[in-house]
Structure 1
Amino acid sequence: MSDKTKKIIIFDDDEDILSICSYILEEQGWEVHTFTDCNNITEKVAGISPDVILMDNWIPDAGGIIATQTLKKEETLKNIPVVYFSANSDIQLLADHAGAETFLAKPFDLEELERVINSVLLKN
């Protein structure tokens, strides 16, 4: 285990997804923070300064696209990789529009979750 614990924020209003993802990632040594809305998103993210953010498309209130765009406008937060996740068939377009680094289609399997998170960590 490295001296610095990796931190991740998951924005999703689906409690099942939050609990499954939290469980898996905590098992791998992540410090997991979850939010069921994206209100005051810059304060939430700045307070934690995560290594990665998982962003749901349908997060209340503003939605994932606006939430991600808001983060990408902030000089201090814009380099945090955002993984956009959604069950929408046009998720790649949504992720590109939001300015996210990559995306994960729902439903996803846990290997895929790990692979996507690790891929953005390596790029950073």
Structure 2
Amino acid sequence: MTDSAAHLLVVDDDSRLRALLQRFLAEQGFRVTVAGDAAAARQALGAMEYDLMVLDVMMPGETGLELTESLRRTGQDVPILMLTAAGAPDDRIAGFEHGADDYLAKPFDPRELALRIRTILKRAAPPASAPLPPVQLGLRWFDAERGELRGPEGVTRLTGGEAALLVALARRGGEVLSREEIAAAMGTPEAGERAVDVTVTRLRRKIEPDPREPRFLHTVRHKGYVLRPGA
């Protein structure tokens, strides 16, 4: 998929900002659909598939955080870039905890928004380099190209951030990666160490038999994380 072919869903209750984003992103070569609230976003997501959703956090009724959490809980893996007027570190971490792939504080430069969108799309695309063979994690297998975990219970979809983190660790299996290296590999170096920790926690819930006693994704104190695949 090329950037110009990507179809974006922009969700914001501010009609002026919504119109500005629709015009700017269309000028950047994206196809753009807009929605004014979570209910309209759900309707749009039910009608077709989107390559990425740009989602405002503070909306009347169901918030962007609540919508993201609900979508992830029901298996929707569309990449989500959150927009919010609250740009404190804790607010950014909340976005990642609820399943967002990236987070941009208002006010923002539209050019940065376009750059972040392209970064997420590139990260979500099948790798152009040599494909990563399936990675065994106990009774599950990770398919890097599809971003899926397959196991006895069926297919478990991963968010773009979770899949990118697992790919980064799997490509250097048995080697300790620092949080900075992992953030760079995920395409979100500005997100910081806490965002990496949050994504690790979410991923462990999906790959570990007991996330409290990890078998595969280990913490190495003061150094980072290491993946040790196996049966």
Q: Same fold (TM over 0.5)?
A: yes
Greater Rg, structure 1 or structure 2? 2
Q: CA separation in 2, counterparts of 1:115 and 1:40?
A: 26
Q: CA separation in 1, counterparts of 2:95 and 2:105?
A: 10
Partner of 1:50: 50
Gaps of 5+ in 1: none
Q: CA separation in 1, counterparts of 2:12 and 2:41?
A: 13
Q: CA separation in 2, counterparts of 1:22 and 1:41?
A: 15
Q: CA separation in 2, counterparts of 1:31 and 1:118?
A: 13
Q: CA separation in 2, counterparts of 1:13 and 1:33?
A: 14
Partner of 2:223: none
| Corresponding pairs, count | 120
TM-score, normalised to structure 1, is 0.87
Q: CA separation in 2, counterparts of 1:60 and 1:7?
A: 25
TM-score, normalised to structure 2, is 0.49
* C-alpha deviation, 1:31, in angstroms: 1.5
SS of the residue corresponding to residue 21 of structure 1 reads helix
Q: Tell me which stretches of 4 or more aligned residues in structure 1 moved more than 6 Å.
A: none
Q: CA separation in 1, counterparts of 2:7 and 2:27?
A: 13
Q: CA separation in 1, counterparts of 2:28 and 2:111?
A: 12
SS of the residue corresponding to residue 82 of structure 2 reads strand
Q: CA separation in 2, counterparts of 1:85 and 1:40?
A: 17
Partner of 1:31: 31
Q: 1:89 aligns with which of 62, 73, 87?
A: 87
Q: CA separation in 1, counterparts of 2:65 and 2:118?
A: 22
Partner of 2:117: 117
Cα deviation, 1:57-110, whole Å, max 9, x if unaligned, reads 1123110111011111233x22x1100110103331231232100111110001
**Residues 16 and 43 (structure 1 numbering): CA distance in 2 closer, same or farther, change over 3 Å?**
closer
What is the Cα-based RMSD across aligned positions, in Å?
1.7
The one-letter code sitting in structure 1 at the alignment partner of 2:99 is G
Partner of 2:99: 99
SS of the residue corresponding to residue 108 of structure 1 reads coil
Q: CA separation in 2, counterparts of 1:6 and 1:89?
A: 27
Q: CA separation in 2, counterparts of 1:41 and 1:8?
A: 11
Q: CA separation in 1, counterparts of 2:68 and 2:79?
A: 10
SS of the residue corresponding to residue 103 of structure 2 reads strand
Gaps of 5+ in 2: 125-231
Aligned sequence identity (%): 24
Worse overlay, 22-31 or 87-96 = 87-96
* C-alpha deviation, 1:37, in angstroms: 0.9
SS of the residue corresponding to residue 5 of structure 2 reads coil
